[in-house]
């Protein structure tokens, strides 16, 4: 392997939808590769066939595609590389660094219960207990042969040595030292013939010339085993550098951000929608976030550029990203901040894209009016935080309200409004400036306050007391629509 060439990988397991924590891992790998003119690989770690979901694999691909985090190589699939792993399993057994274990799940559970009744510490299959288990280290050759003839299900475990130090450096967390006596004999090959993550990822990282392993901190406790495998297999000099990313924490309380938290508090934890048990769970895309904003949001969950800048394009991130500026502590997900970042990106979007979005939504709702979106967009573009919010702001320009916020409505305003409408509808030159002048003159002439007229007028036209500029809104709606809405609203509010 050329040590100067950066090669990184994103290696998700397709057992469920892609969480934004996984997407952030993919993003950091992508940014690091692009910054160093390296290669970004996608590897599908589908060795857990019991939990494998084909739609989860597609969800991963679609999510990366939506965000523009496109791999240079892959996707590679571990399920198609079975023979490669078997070759290295045999080598480990021949070296005496792995052994075959025949313990059934029931036997393991009984042993666990027995151990925990006698000892305060939890049971661990390790150098202290393995001699009392059913494996090739404890059984006679005759017993082993009989088990093989009977086709007894078996696994292959690593033989972790006693009282040895494993030392490695983590780019984010510094030097880490672990004693092998604290580690268990992890399974490397399962009973179904599939390798576990531990073996497959080390073999693949070596064969694919991975230079840096950038992954979540949940894999930090497994890293000593991976380092041990590199050394045992004779690959010490080609071992990648490690960087373990902090967790993404829930907005409130302790613990990492989960799907359950999102459902309870009403925010997304997936890039795009996921269907589960007939329920469609919305992702950032469906909630109206832009892909470039989603990337920006995730980049800041654990990484700090060291400046006041908070809004970044993907190109900006590639230039400024650094593994050394990633924090050790967890990063708390902030929904209001995320919406603010999305709003900033939304305001940078070309008007033609946003106009098309509004028009597509209007057609979908069956209320399309040609040319209306172009006139409407300047009034609402800076008000919306998301694309969903943009349509919520725009729809009142297409459809008259069906509900009215009457908290600030006063019945005596009815007469004033009717007079105002009569005056503005009769204007020879109907535009925002003339509507404003006419309304202002009427208010002053009748010694009224602006709130006595403008608030009820807005409620009748838009259904609420807040919204975009009232006079420009009136110009966009036009004389006929104004008159029609006022008549309808007064009838409904009267009832």
Confidence at residue 63, expressed as pLDDT on a 0 to 100 scale: 97
Say if residue 302's pLDDT is above 50: yes
Q: What is the pLDDT of residues 205-215, one digit of tens each?
A: 999 999 999 99
| pLDDT (0 to 100) of residue 47 | 85
- Could you tell me if residue 188 is inside a domain? no
Among 162, 161, 245, 158, which Cα is nearest to 202's?
158
Same domain, residue pair 360 and 344: no
pLDDT band at 4 (very low <50, low <70, confident <90, very high): low
Average pLDDT over residues 86-113: 96
Average pLDDT in the 400-419 region? 89
> What is the token pair recorded at 143?
């017993």
Do 376 and 450 belong to one domain? no
Over residues 351-371, the mean pLDDT reads 95
What integer best gives the mean pLDDT of the chain?
94
Buried b (16+ CB within 10 A) or exposed e, 145-164: eebeeeeeebbbbbbbeeee
Q: How does 462-479 read in b/e, with b if 16+ C-beta sit within 10 Å?
A: bbbbebbebbbbbbbbeb
Indicate the range of 31-40, 98-107, 118-127 predicted with least confidence. 118-127
The answer to whether the CB of 493 falls within 8 A of the CB of 404 is yes
Q: What is the dihedral of CA 28, 17, 384, 346, to 10 degrees?
A: 40
Looking at the structure, tell me whether residues 291 and 331 fall in a common domain.
Answer: yes
Q: Is residue 238 part of a domain?
A: yes
CATH code of the domain containing 228 = 3.40.50.620
The verdict on residue 407 lying in a domain is no
Both 65 and 94 in one domain: the answer is no
Average pLDDT of the residues in 154-164? 97
Q: Looking at the domain assignment, is residue 19 inside a domain?
A: yes
| Residue 193 domain-assigned (yes or no) | no
Spatial separation of the C-alpha atoms in residues 63 and 493, rounded to whole Å: 46
pLDDT band, residue 495 (cuts 50/70/90): low
Are 266 and 238 part of one and the same domain? no
Is 187 inside any structural domain? no
- Report the CATH number that the domain containing residue 313 is assigned in CATH: 1.10.1160.10
Q: Which residues contact 78 (CB under 8 A, 6 or more apart)?
A: 43, 44, 45, 46, 47, 85, 195, 200, 204
Average pLDDT over residues 164-178: 96
User: Is pLDDT at 26 greater than 90 in this prediction?
Assistant: yes
Same domain for 285 and 217, yes or no, is no
CB of 227 closer than 8 Å to CB of 168: yes
Tell me, what's the pLDDT at 1?
38
From 120-124, 162-166, 242-246, the region with the lowest mean pLDDT? 120-124
**Domain ranges, residue 54:** 7-75+200-249
Chain Cα centroid distance, residue 48 = 22
Question: What are the residues facing 156 on neighbouring strands?
Answer: 100, 189
Report residue 431 as tokens. 């535009």
Question: 217: pLDDT confidence band, cut at 50, 70 and 90?
Answer: very high
What pLDDT does 494 receive? 65
- Co-location of 91 and 176 in the same domain: yes
> Which residue is it, tokens 């005759």?
142
24 within domain boundaries: yes
Q: 249, 278, 306: which is the final residue of a domain?
A: 249
Q: Is residue 194 part of a domain?
A: no
Q: Looking at residue 266, what is its pLDDT? A: 76
Mean pLDDT of 240-257: 91
What is the reported pLDDT for 260? 77
Of residues 49 and 362, more confidently modeled: 362
CATH assignment at residue 89: 3.90.800.10
How far is residue 320's CA from residue 171's CA, in Å, rounded to a whole number? 17
Count of domains in the chain? 5
Query: Domain with 430 in it: what CATH number?
Result: 1.10.10.350
pLDDT at residue 77 in the model: 93
Residue 315, helix vs strand vs coil: helix
Who wins on pLDDT, 402 or 320?
320
In a shared domain, residues 70 and 204: yes
Residues 144 and 165 in one domain: yes
Which of 91-100, 252-261, 265-274: highest mean pLDDT? 91-100
Whether 331 and 369 share a structural domain: no
């Amino acid at each position: 392997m050329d040590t100067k060439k950066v090669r990184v990988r994103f290696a998700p397991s397709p057992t469920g939808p892609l969480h934004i924590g996984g997407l952030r891992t993919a993003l950091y790998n992508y940014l690091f590769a692009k910054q160093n003119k390296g290669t970004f690989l996608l590897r599908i770690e589908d060795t857990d066939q019991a939990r494998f979901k084909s739609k989860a694999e597609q969800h991963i691909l679609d999510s990366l595609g939506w965000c523009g985090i496109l791999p240079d190589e892959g996707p590679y699939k571990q399920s198609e590389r079975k023979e490669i792993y078997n070759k290295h399993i045999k080598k480990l057994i021949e070296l005496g660094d792995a052994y075959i274990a025949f313990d059934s799940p029931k036997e393991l559970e009984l042993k666990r219960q027995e151990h925990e009744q006698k000892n305060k510490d939890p049971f661990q299959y390790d150098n202290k207990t393995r001699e009392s288990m059913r494996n090739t280290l404890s059984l006679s050759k005759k017993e082993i042969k009989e088990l093989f003839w009977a086709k007894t299900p078996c696994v292959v475990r690593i033989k972790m040595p006693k009282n040895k130090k494993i030392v490695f450096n983590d780019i984010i967390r510094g030097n880490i030292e672990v004693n092998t006596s604290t580690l268990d004999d992890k399974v490397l090959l399962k009973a179904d013939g599939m390798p576990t993550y531990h073996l497959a990822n080390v073999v693949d990282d070596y064969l694919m010339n991975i230079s840096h392993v950038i992954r979540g901190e949940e894999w930090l406790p497994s890293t000593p085993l991976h380092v041990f495998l590199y050394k045992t297999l004779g690959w010490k000099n080609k071992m990648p550098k490690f960087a373990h990313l902090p967790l993404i924490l829930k907005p409130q309380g302790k613990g990492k951000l989960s799907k359950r938290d999102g459902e309870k508090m009403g925010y997304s934890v997936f890039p795009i929608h996921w269907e589960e048990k007939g329920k469609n769970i919305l992702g950032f895309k469906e909630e109206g976030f832009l892909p470039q904003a989603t990337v920006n949001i995730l980049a800041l969950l654990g990484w700090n550029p060291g400046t006041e800048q908070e809004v970044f394009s993907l190109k900006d991130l590639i230039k400024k990203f650094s593994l050394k500026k990633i924090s050790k502590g967890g990063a708390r997900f902030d929904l209001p901040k995320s919406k603010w970042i999305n709003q900033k990106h939304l305001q940078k979007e070309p008007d033609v894209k946003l106009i098309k979005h509004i028009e597509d939504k209007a057609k979908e709702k069956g209320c399309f009016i040609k040319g209306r979106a172009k006139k409407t967009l300047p009034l609402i573009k800076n008000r919306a935080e998301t694309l969903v919010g943009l349509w919520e702001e725009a729809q009142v320009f297409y459809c008259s309200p069906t509900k009215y916020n009457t908290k600030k409505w006063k019945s005596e305003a009815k007469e004033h409004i009717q007079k105002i409408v009569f005056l503005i509808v009769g204007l020879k030159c109907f535009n925002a400036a003339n509507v404003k002048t006419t309304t202002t003159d009427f208010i002053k002439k009748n010694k009224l306050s602006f709130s006595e007229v403008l608030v009820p007028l807005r409620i009748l036209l838009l259904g609420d007391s807040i919204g975009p500029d009232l006079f420009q809104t009136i110009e966009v709606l036009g004389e006929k629509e104004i008159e029609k809405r006022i008549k309808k609203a007064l009838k409904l509010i009267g009832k």
